[in-house]
Structure 1
């Protein structure tokens, strides 16, 4: 008999079958009996609802006697008295208060408009975002009012459905270097976070962080970026050719290759030599003017420094002092 009455008049209100990825959980037995206890665990808030409206929110972890410690703080149920066979019919919603961390990644490449690429630059990206519940009224009105539980995967699906478009929007902003998007990742992520926060706000959620770990280019583009970055010479074609020749010689790829490799090496060497000569001429032209020998006037013949007959160095005279050869 005592066991019968204990089961009838007492129960425990708690988050049963707790899951770390669950955003909220609705206690299913909505009749609370006399002598019932409320258990709130770390990282949980308990919300008492009556006809869909919030009666009270309890934050502190611990075990509470509902009749003496909870009911006195409920908005419209402060004077509720338990009957012998009746209980208090309310709903209790438990909310996970932590920040949820979610990994994201583009399923398909996003074609970002880029100069010289009519079809756009196909780019993939990945990273993480964090969110949490911040507005219980909106949460209950939009989601908890019709669902008994809500998990992180529900939010992830909602976010990834709009993420490609937001990446396209913020990457395409003017001034972005399409071949070094990582340098602008903070600015891009900040813009996306603001847009996502606006979309989730009506559901009682807030985006507390959005991060881009990396941008991934097509293999051909990535190889070019990696090679340029490794040599520290992006945009310096001359230095690229010089280092390419040096690498080929150091690796032995130009040794023992027969006529073809010899010809390739010769052509590369000539090409680099010509470019160096061009640069020297440009430097000479842009800098201080080089001194030049005075040119002879029209009708004059230039005096030879050496005798054309015997090779003796000449002076100011008109005839060679050694053999008598006329010099002019």
Structure 2
């Protein structure tokens, strides 16, 4: 209390790297008339009287008196004269960039990729924060906190960042394999969007960095396989390269036994076989040429097989010659039911046009005696 009566210099020397706002401590919040207020570069001071913001001070040195505080004169009628102490508070705000802030996605973000379809992405990085409107920040977040630190607002900012990250990646229109080349541009767009969203609380995001955008492990494994296939390319050249490396290692180790030489030879032979097999698989398959048939007439087409019904019994199959014999013996008459493959049902022979020549040769029945 005695120090509060003697100290008349109000200043803030920040020995931390994460304090956004700091309230100057005085006994009973009494600031002596004529006290010196020192605001350094990278700081702004907010003078609060009886719970209301009276003035904001830029960097410089000020003498706190009623003639220097016209706003304060209208807020309070001085009952005991203008030489009495101020019953007020002074909040210092750091306006430098806070660059040690990190962000990351706890859950993956699902985006639609033109080549791979729906893909789950994770991302992390860093960003910087700067105070641009201390009165707004005091009203919205700081309140009466004597020391407002970045950790108190970090989770709130991370949620807003993740909320903006999904739409930014989805609307970027960049394929997944090209995201690394466009991380800087996406980060700049996110910084602008976040600054506009955070302006109502008095802060801005001057810098936003995407350090990495990662894929699920199974997708990364599939991409690794695809990359390996692209790197190997021509198996013939790969086998020759491996054989050359083996020969170089063997030359550097002349004391190796015959087994190493045999292993080298087997490795080269296997590599050549693999290269030949892979090359044959890559070549378009030629149509297999059928052996030419010897000169001569083509085989006769298969004759249709017929069935007839005689005395309620099915007989056959018969070819046309067999049917002709049946007609000659009297077994096949115009009223005889016949059937062959392709007919829907048994039909009288006289209704089948194909059998008309056979039936015409059938002699008529003998006249009654």
User: Could you say which residue in structure 2 is the equivalent of 1:92?
Assistant: 90
Contact 1:131 / 1:206 at 8 angstroms: preserved in 2? yes
State yes or no: 1:186 paired with 2:184. yes
* SS of aligned partner of 1:184: helix
User: Could you say which residue in structure 2 is the equivalent of 1:141?
Assistant: 139
CA distance, structure 2, for counterparts of residue 259 and residue 114 of structure 1: 48
Q: Report how many residues are paired.
A: 267
Identify if the C-alpha distance between structure 1 residues 133 and 178 changes in structure 2 by more than 3 Å, giving closer, same or farther.
same
Contact 1:101 / 1:129 at 8 angstroms: preserved in 2? yes
Q: CA deviation at 1:200?
A: 1.6
State yes or no: 1:76 paired with 2:75. no
CA distance, structure 1, for counterparts of residue 209 and residue 91 of structure 2: 31
Identify if the C-alpha distance between structure 1 residues 7 and 194 changes in structure 2 by more than 3 Å, giving closer, same or farther.
closer
CA distance, structure 2, for counterparts of residue 37 and residue 82 of structure 1: 22
User: Could you say which residue in structure 1 is the equivalent of 2:46?
Assistant: 47
Give 1 or 2 for the bigger CA radius of gyration: 2
* SS of aligned partner of 1:54: strand
* SS of aligned partner of 1:20: coil
State yes or no: 1:252 paired with 2:246. yes
Identify if the C-alpha distance between structure 1 residues 225 and 180 changes in structure 2 by more than 3 Å, giving closer, same or farther.
farther
Q: CA deviation at 1:23?
A: 0.8
* SS of aligned partner of 2:71: coil
Identify if the C-alpha distance between structure 1 residues 151 and 174 changes in structure 2 by more than 3 Å, giving closer, same or farther.
closer
Structure 2 unaligned blocks of 5 or more: 248-261, 287-369
Identify if the C-alpha distance between structure 1 residues 251 and 113 changes in structure 2 by more than 3 Å, giving closer, same or farther.
farther
Normalised TM-score (structure 1): 0.64
Identify if the C-alpha distance between structure 1 residues 274 and 107 changes in structure 2 by more than 3 Å, giving closer, same or farther.
closer
User: Could you say which residue in structure 2 is the equivalent of 1:268?
Assistant: 275
Identify if the C-alpha distance between structure 1 residues 260 and 108 changes in structure 2 by more than 3 Å, giving closer, same or farther.
farther
CA distance, structure 1, for counterparts of residue 201 and residue 64 of structure 2: 29
Contact 1:159 / 1:196 at 8 angstroms: preserved in 2? no
Q: CA deviation at 1:241?
A: 4.8
Structure 1 unaligned blocks of 5 or more: 282-328
Q: Deviations over 1:56-87 (max 9, x none)?
A: 2222244x4323xx751442328969859941
Q: CA deviation at 1:142?
A: 0.9
CA distance, structure 2, for counterparts of residue 206 and residue 237 of structure 1: 45
Q: CA deviation at 1:185?
A: 0.9
Identify if the C-alpha distance between structure 1 residues 19 and 74 changes in structure 2 by more than 3 Å, giving closer, same or farther.
farther
Normalised TM-score (structure 2): 0.58
Q: Tell me which of the two structures has the higher relative contact order, counting C-alpha pairs closer than 8 angstroms and 6 or more residues apart.
A: 1
CA distance, structure 2, for counterparts of residue 82 and residue 250 of structure 1: 99
State yes or no: 1:34 paired with 2:51. no
Identify if the C-alpha distance between structure 1 residues 45 and 113 changes in structure 2 by more than 3 Å, giving closer, same or farther.
closer
